[in-house]
């Protein structure tokens, strides 16, 4: 393997880190459905998480252009709260229109995705901190 190939592989692995939660959600939701978990709940939970993550990525990129730190912080907190509400509404809507098992499966998928995202964010933050030191 050449040096350029090794660098390319390393860059790809680093660039996939922020999306690890999405990859895990898709894989684990498929596995959960295969072993008998409610398909509708797993699908809605995974779709809601992926939708929220896509919108968050777009908004985060746009927030980088905001020069006023107070405005950027305020908008960031607002977007974070909206994300929580969208995910909660997905769970509640499924609970009202389907079975409790579907709503529980949806909630567990979202909880698992959030946990993975939180862990990845902590690792990424630590890596950025080490790089800047």
Provide the token pair at 47. 């779709």
Q: CA-to-CA distance for 60 and 38, rounded, in angstroms? A: 33
| pLDDT of the residue at 25 | 93
DSSP state of 92: H
Query: What does 90-106 look like in DSSP terms, one character per residue?
Result: HHHHHHHHS-HHHHHHH
- pLDDT, one tens digit per residue, over 86-97 is 999 999 999 999
| pLDDT of the residue at 52 | 95
Q: CA-to-CA distance for 24 and 129, rounded, in angstroms? A: 25
DSSP state of 1: -
- pLDDT, one tens digit per residue, over 114-127 is 999 999 888 888 88
Domain ranges of the chain: 19-132
- pLDDT, one tens digit per residue, over 27-40 is 999 999 999 999 99
Query: pTM of the predicted model, to two decimals?
Result: 0.81
């Amino acid at each position: 393997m050449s040096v350029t190939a090794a660098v390319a592989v390393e860059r790809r692995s680093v660039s996939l880190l922020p999306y690890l939660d999405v990859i895990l959600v898709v894989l684990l939701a498929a596995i959960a459905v295969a072993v008998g978990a409610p398909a509708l709940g797993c699908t809605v939970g995974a779709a809601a998480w992926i939708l929220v993550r896509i919108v968050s990525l777009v908004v985060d990129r746009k927030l980088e252009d905001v020069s006023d730190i107070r405005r950027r912080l305020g908008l960031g907190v607002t977007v974070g709260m909206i994300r929580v509400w969208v995910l909660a509404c997905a769970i509640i809507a499924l609970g009202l229109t389907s079975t409790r098992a579907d709503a529980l499966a949806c909630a567990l998928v979202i909880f698992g995705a959030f946990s993975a995202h939180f862990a990845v964010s902590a690792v990424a933050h630590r890596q950025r901190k080490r790089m800047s030191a």
